[in-house]
Amino acid sequence: KAGVTQTPRYLIKTRGQQVTLSCSPISGHRSVSWYQQTPGQGLQFLFEYFSETQRNKGNFPGRFSGRQFSNSRSEMNVSTLELGDSALYLCASGQAGTSAYEQYFGPGTRLTVT
Amino acid sequence: KQEVTQIPAALSVPEGENLVLNCSFTDSAIYNLQWFRQDPGKGLTSLLLIQSSQREQTSGRLNASLDKSSGRSTLYIAASQPGDSATYLCAVPNTGNQFYFGTGTSLTVIP
């Protein structure tokens, strides 16, 4: 079974631009979560989608948004990029909408904002 | 809000040594606890998931224990190898699949 895939793997953007990251969960998984990882803040939760609905949202500004499609693939969008948005963005997929199941992470998208 | 702490922040051991990584959490009402490994610049690899009703979970040279009442979990690595060098993270979820991560333990196994 294929793992979680994320595209692109690397991105370089300029301040003020916007970016869209994509995550394809493991087949059959309906929950997709997004995290931001930086050296200073560690892993921080962005949001979680289940069956195309955002169920949880972390403490990030409205510039960070996401969506999930009917095939469970998810996209994350960051508008008006700032230097501080440079990070590794990770998505995780889970089998169901409860916390009882193991979460599987993708390889991440490394975003650099210049 | 759940807070997860990992001690030590960094650990260096000679190859072959057994070692223990610690994880503590403030809210004992957890569903499960998951241990991950992260290599530099890479994603997270799931190592072990231990359910709240379990005390231990084993996979190969890895053994995770969970003591909900005291808010602690340990990851025991037997006969460490240089390939075990990585950052180890523990995480606990809330009801909505939001994980609270520890800050990690950076492990170096010296050949």
Bond preceding residue B40 cis, omega within 30 of 0: no
Chain-chain contact of B46 with A105 (C-beta, under 8 angstroms) = yes
CA triplet B80, B84, A108: central angle to 5 degrees?
Answer: 165
Pairing state between β B10-14 and B105-110: parallel
From CA A1, how far away is CA A108, in angstroms rounded?
Answer: 19
Q: Do A90 and B36 touch (CB under 8 A)?
A: no
pLDDT in tens, chain A (114 residues): 679 999 999 999 999 999 999 999 999 899 999 999 998 889 999 999 998 999 889 999 999 999 999 999 999 999 999 999 999 999 999 886 555 678 899 999 999 999
Q: For strands A10-13 and A109-113, give the pairing.
A: parallel
**CB-neighbour burial class of residue A50 (10 A; exposed 0-12, middle 13-18, buried 19+):** buried
Contacts of A3 (CB under 8 A, 6+ apart): A26, A104, A106
CA A8 to chain B, closest CA, distance in angstroms equals 14
Size of interface A-B (CB pairs under 8 A): 69
